[in-house]
Each structure stands twice: as C-alpha cells, then as structure tokens.
Amino acid sequence: MRDDGAARASRPRAGAPGRIERQDGARPGRLRRARARRRRSRGAGVSIGEPALRYTLCFLTRADRVLMLRRRRAPNQGLWNGVGGKIEGGETPSAACLREVREETGFQIPSARFAAVVSWTGFEAPDGALCVFTAEAPDGEPAACEEGELAWLPRDRVLRSAEVVSNIHRFGPDVFAGLSPRWHRFTYRNGAIERHDAMPLGPFSGLVDSQ
C-alpha cells in the first residue's frame, strides 16, 4: 500500500504532461484540430462545407443567348466560360457575383438566381468549389473586359462546343432549365473529366436561404 506522498506524486501536477480534460468536455487535441481548420479556412472563401467555396460564376442570358468570356489566363485559358471570380473576405456568394458581373461586364444587375454548386478535384486549379448564378442581362452591350473577350453565344453552342469549358456541358442543362440547385462534383484525371456526380446540396444547402 502506497503512502500519501507516493499517491500525491502519482497524480498529474498542474502543467504536467498528460491527458487533460477541459471542464466543458473539449479535449486539447480536438481544440487544436478545430483551430487548425479555422486557420486553413481564413481567406479561402465561404467555409460552409467541404470543399471550400471560393468563387462565383454567373451566366447572363438574353433570349436564347448567353454572355460568355473567353479567358486569357489559366485556368481554362482560351475557353469560353461564364463571368465571375473570387469571393472576397466578408462577402456572401450573391454579393460577390453581383460585384464580379459589374467589374467584368459593366452591367449593374440587382440580383441573380442561385443555380448550383460546382466542385472539383484533380483539376489544374486547386481543389475547391464555386457558386453558380444566372441573371437576365440588362439592355445594352458589355464593356471591354481585361480578363478576356466577351461575346453572346447561342445557348446550344454553350452546351455542346469544345471551345466551352467542358463541365458546363454537364451542369449547364440543369442551370439553364431553371431546375432546383444541386451540387455537381467533378473529378479530373489528366485534364479530362473522369467522374461527375450530381447530388443534393448537402453542406451547401444553407446557400438557398442566404441569397
């Protein structure tokens, strides 16, 4: 039987190594992992789910035509895409969409319809996700854009042409048909789409109510 001194020596001292339980039930290891996740999410768009929602993409329509941008720079250099860009700190996806439309086209639009989430892995850009919107274009023609050439393309061409970013052929029909938003998840290998999954919004479902 140990004496009181031995028993006291066997108890963890304040600051001594060992498994320490917080009064609120959280363990230090879990707290460190949570803090690391928060650090990784800073400046990485809206951390609603995985992967991080970093960008917006908007298709401005006029009758059966869509305003498209032929990009001058990677990713998707030389291909036609919608207009959009990065979500800045403190912005909602909707606010980022309206700002990017204004900056890239000169059009002032009051709102845009949330249409889909598109995510990717294995692509030339870092893994991530973007929020897709559509809006009716106002009257007039777009201003010149530093990001590339703007042009009105027939919707059928947008959905079929090899000169258009290839994943638009997959998620575009839902978007242009006005269907309920879904999450379109793409896996790439050697620059080509290897797999496409269309599913409920899941971790991104809060976007429906936040627009």
CATH classification at residue 121: 3.90.79.10
CB 111 within 8 A of CB 103: no
The partner residues of 199 in beta bridges, in order of sequence, read 183
Q: Does residue 171 sit within a domain?
A: yes
CA distance 91 to 98: 11
> For the stretch 28-54, what's the b/e string if a residue is b when 16 or more beta carbons lie within 10 angstroms of its beta carbon?
eeeeeeeeeeeeeeeebbbebbebbbb
CA distance 113 to 137: 12
200 upstream amide cis, omega within 30 of 0: no
pLDDT at residue 51, rounded to an integer? 82
Token pair of 140, please? Answer: 């007039």
DSSP state of 180: P
pLDDT at residue 62, rounded to an integer? 98
Q: Which stretches of the chain are DSSP H helices?
A: 4-10, 28-41, 93-105, 155-160, 168-177, 207-210
Count of domains forming the chain:
1
CB 96 within 8 A of CB 85: yes
Q: Which amino acid is at 192?
A: A
CA distance 204 to 211: 12
pLDDT at residue 139, rounded to an integer? 97
Nearest alpha-carbon partner for 93 in 126, 67, 115: 115
Q: Does residue 36 sit within a domain?
A: no
Q: Does residue 170 sit within a domain?
A: yes
Q: Does residue 17 sit within a domain?
A: no
Q: Does residue 11 sit within a domain?
A: no
Q: Does residue 192 sit within a domain?
A: yes
The partner residues of 70 in beta bridges, in order of sequence, read 80, 149
Torsion of CA 21, 24, 30, 33, to 10 degrees: -130
> DSSP 3-state assignment of 54?
strand
From first to last of the 211 residues of the chain, give the pLDDT tens digit.
Answer: 444 544 444 444 444 433 333 344 444 444 444 444 433 433 444 444 468 999 999 999 999 999 999 999 988 999 999 999 999 999 999 999 999 999 999 999 999 999 999 999 999 888 999 999 999 999 999 999 999 999 999 999 999 999 999 999 999 999 999 999 999 999 999 999 999 999 999 999 988 766 5
Q: Does residue 160 sit within a domain?
A: yes
> DSSP 3-state assignment of 85?
strand
pTM for this prediction: 0.76
pLDDT at residue 125, rounded to an integer? 85
Query: Which range marks the domain in which residue 105 is found?
Result: 41-210
CA distance 40 to 82: 28
CA distance 172 to 66: 11
Q: Does residue 13 sit within a domain?
A: no
